[in-house]
Every structure is written in structure tokens, then in C-alpha cells.
Amino acid sequence: MEIKTTAIVLRATEIGESDKLVTLLTPDFGKMTVRAKGCRNAKSKLRFATLPMCLGEYILTKSKAGYIVTGCDAIDTFPSVGADLVRYYVAAVLLDGADHMAREDSADAALFLTLLNELKKVAYHDKPLHTGAVYLVQLLRLAGHALRPYCQCGEAGDYIDLETSAFCCDAHKGSLCMPLSALARQTLVAIVEGYDASVDGLREAYVILARCLLHTVGVKLMSVQELCKQWAVLAAE
């Protein structure tokens, strides 16, 4: 049995002497773990097809042990990401988020398109740090926890409810709420409403959004922690 599908490589792990286990995100089959045989050999035609971020048309053949990559026509490998430190760290957040959100053998075209669109922005547009924060907001929306930047009473709110991703005022805050600085609130509102946010507020926004994903859907993004550790260097780029 052979299938053809568009896919993005989320990650790859070396196995055996020359193979890799590759995690693909596809619009038609969801997340798939496939084997690329001999791809670590210098002359292998599949070396590029196992690189994280590779976007391609994959040919997968069913074997007793699962699917094997038997062909790939590359569409884009986003080389600019590997050449730029900021883009690299943000792209890692994008791939990490999709890897945690996707389900094996469960089609999710919305998640695939969200990853693809934001990956293109990270690779080819300005302000990748802003794009990464927008992506986290989109993941919350896809999980059914859209960020709501105003309290139910209509006030702007000085807290964010980590279990619902909703802003809340002191009178309506729940048991698991996080206080917001004025800059964080302004930054999150900017992201949700579609205009540019201050770089100064983006680091705090990443932390808040990652905590919301942890408490709403159980997704822990170590990539956000790594990005924030490097923030002083990345924000200065």
C-alpha cells in the first residue's frame, strides 16, 4: 500500500546505523511517524526529506512495521531559518507546538495550515518574534480556548485565567489566575487584535501563552523556555 501526502517534518531521530524515525504533520492523516531507511548515508536522496521544517510531497509505503519514506519532492526547506538565530528559535516553537497538538492518524488540516502559514512568515517576513506569539494564540484557538482580551463584565482585566485563557478583573478572577502587567496586557491585546506588539512585551506574552497552553490542554512547550533564556540576545538582533 502506498500513499502520497503533503507533509512538514516536525522532528527526526536517528535509529540503527543509517536510518531515522521521522515525525510528519500532514493535513490528511494528522501526525505520522515514519522510517527513512538509509537517509544518513552521504549519497542518500532522502537526506533533505528528514530535516526539520522540510515541506514536501511524500510517498509513503506501508510495511509490516509501519510506513517507510520511499520518495519526496521538496517544496521548501526554509534555509533562511537555519541562517538566522531569531528565526531558528521561533521556528522551534512552531514545530514543538504542532508536535504536541497533533494526534496520530487524526486529520487536522487547520493545524497543518496554521503551521505552514506561520512558518513561511518566520522564514520570509520581518518580526519573527511577533509571529511566534501569534502562533501560540492560534494554538489556543484551535484547542477551543481562544484568548479573550476582556473580562466578561467588559473591563480590560488585570488577570488572565490560565484555565480558560480569558482576561478577568479582580471581581471575576478564578482560582488559577495570573496577574498581568500593563505591558503584558497591551501586548496580548495587540496580538489578538492583529496589530504589531512591542518587542519589550513579547517575552512576557510568550510565558503567559505557554502557561495557558499548559493549563488548558496540557501542552508543555520546552521550546518557549529555551527561547526565553536567549531573549536578551534574540531581541537585540
Structural domains in the chain, CATH included, are 2-76 (2.40.50.140), 81-236 (1.20.1440.120)
Predicted pLDDT at 83: 93
**Beta partners for residue 66, in sequence order:** 63
Contact yes or no for 68/34 (Cβ under 8 A): yes
Q: Hey, what amino acid is at 105?
A: D
Q: Which of 53, 1, 58 is nearest to 35 (CA)?
A: 58
Predicted pLDDT at 120: 97
Predicted pLDDT at 121: 97
Q: Which of 143, 144, 142, 119 is nearest to 132 (CA)?
A: 119
Q: How far is 77 from 66, CA to CA, in rounded Å?
A: 25
Predicted pLDDT at 63: 86
Coil, strand, or helix at residue 86? helix
Q: How far is 169 from 173, CA to CA, in rounded Å?
A: 6
Predicted pLDDT at 142: 96
Contact yes or no for 224/206 (Cβ under 8 A): yes
Predicted pLDDT at 236: 74
Predicted pLDDT at 15: 92
Q: How far is 200 from 19, CA to CA, in rounded Å?
A: 43
Cα separation values, 48 from 30, 56, 88, 110, Å: 21, 10, 17, 25
Predicted pLDDT at 186: 92
Q: Which of 5, 1, 39 is nearest to 22 (CA)?
A: 39
Cα separation values, 154 from 35, 50, 148, 166, Å: 52, 49, 11, 12
Predicted pLDDT at 25: 97
Q: How far is 198 from 232, CA to CA, in rounded Å?
A: 15
Q: Which ranges of the chain have pLDDT less than 70?
A: none
